[in-house]
Amino acid sequence: MIDQKIAIIGGTGKFGQHLGKRLEENNEIRISGRDAEEAEAVASKYGWKSGENTEIVKEADIVIVAVPISVTVEVIDSIGPNISDDTLLCDITSVKQEPVEAMEKYSDQVLGMHPMYAPSNSIKGQKVVLCPEKGKKWTEMEEFWIENGADIHIVDPETHDKAMSLVQGLMHFSELVVADVIRKSDLTGEDLEEYSSPVYQLITDLTARMLNQKSGLYGSIQSENPENEDIREEFVASAEDITELIGEEQFDERFEELGEEFDLKGAQERTDKVIEFLSEVR
């Protein structure tokens, strides 16, 4: 990708800066932010340009919306009238149906993107989901991700959101429930650490890792994905169902059935390696 004018709405954020630094070679980067002075400072730091949302998108070849999920559609609607029909309009939220529908109204070139990694990580080896909805210019961003070593997955927005209701919605919700049960118990975090084997320490560390992030992000993931409400209801129903099976003969049968959904051998091998590593560093 060369000689492109790329506007990043929310370019002062961590992921906006992450993308800007990786897209800047041979391209012109323009960014905006909630605070004009901060946007100017960030732009000056990297040798980019800054301006208001509706200004930096004018004459841009590619526009990337990198703002919180809760305001993504609102921002798309605010900049949309200033975008030309042949501008590649993208977003990077973890929800795809509503943002893609909003972008379709303003451009003939639309791509929903979901980079599934933290901006502190390198792109190489990371999963990036692409939802190309209109036009053919989306392949320019596909090329960018491939050149940086990303693991690309191309799906439609509805399939993406259904998958994320399990990968993110269900997993994060279960971690929140676990954390709340721990909070209500008589044991402290130090007690848990003292009595946890490496594998249980890993499980609690993953929960703590989530809680070390911004609550707004995880609240938005729960509320903005239209598929998550049904998943949360299924979680509660399954908890009640399995509770009734405890101590019953049917528990063994259900246990075996649940295992059929997973790569048991692969999971055992992968977690064994992690546990061995954790045992060495404790």
- Residue-wise pLDDT for 128-183, tens only, equals 999 999 999 999 999 999 999 999 999 999 999 999 999 999 999 999 999 999 89
Q: 107 pLDDT band (50/70/90 cuts)?
A: very high
Residue where a domain terminates, one of 155, 177, 194: 155
Q: Which of residues 155, 189, 205 is at a domain's end?
A: 155
∠ CA 68-71-75, rounded to 5°: 110
Residue (of 245, 213, 265) closest to 15 by Cα position: 213
Residues 36 and 150 in one domain: yes
175-212 residue pLDDT tens:
999 999 989 998 877 888 888 888 888 888 889 989 99
Using DSSP, state whether 34 is helix, strand or coil. coil
* pTM greater than 0.75 (yes/no): yes
Answer yes or no: do 116 and 188 share one domain.
no
Average pLDDT over residues 220-240: 93
Query: At 275, is the secondary structure helix, strand, or coil?
Result: helix
Overall average pLDDT of the 73-84 stretch: 97
Provide, rounded to the nearest whole percent, the portion of the chain with pLDDT above 90: 81
Q: Are residues 96 and 173 in the same domain?
A: no
pLDDT of residue 180: 94
If asked whether residues 170 and 264 sit together in one domain, one would say: yes
Contact partners, residue 182, CB within 8 Å, separation at least 6: 189, 192, 204
Domain co-membership, 94 together with 145: yes
Domain of 277, CATH number, reads 1.10.3660
Is 90 exceeded by the pLDDT of residue 110? yes
Q: Which of the two residues, 142 and 282, has the higher pLDDT score?
A: 142
Q: What is the residue range of 168's domain?
A: 159-281
Per this entry, what is the length of the chain?
282
Neighbours of 273 (CB within 10 A): 10
Same domain for 54 and 73? Answer: yes
Cα–chain center distance at 43? 25
Q: Domain check: are 216 and 136 in the same one?
A: no
Helices (H), the chain: 14-23, 36-46, 53-56, 69-79, 97-104, 138-147, 157-164, 171-184, 189-195, 198-211, 215-224, 228-245, 250-259, 264-281
Q: Are 192 and 204 contacting, i.e. CB atoms less than 8 angstroms apart?
A: yes
Which DSSP letter does residue 258 get?
H
Pairing type for strands 88-91 and 62-65 reads: parallel
Give the CA angle between residues 215, 221, 226 to the nearest 5°: 150
Whose CA is closest to 45, among 22, 6, 12, 23? 12
Amino acid (one-letter) located at 214: K
* Residue 243: Cβ within 10 Å count: 8
155, 181, 205 — which closes off a domain?
155
Strand residue runs (E) in the chain: 5-9, 28-32, 49-50, 62-65, 88-91, 109-115, 127-134, 151-154
- Same structural domain, 106 and 172: no
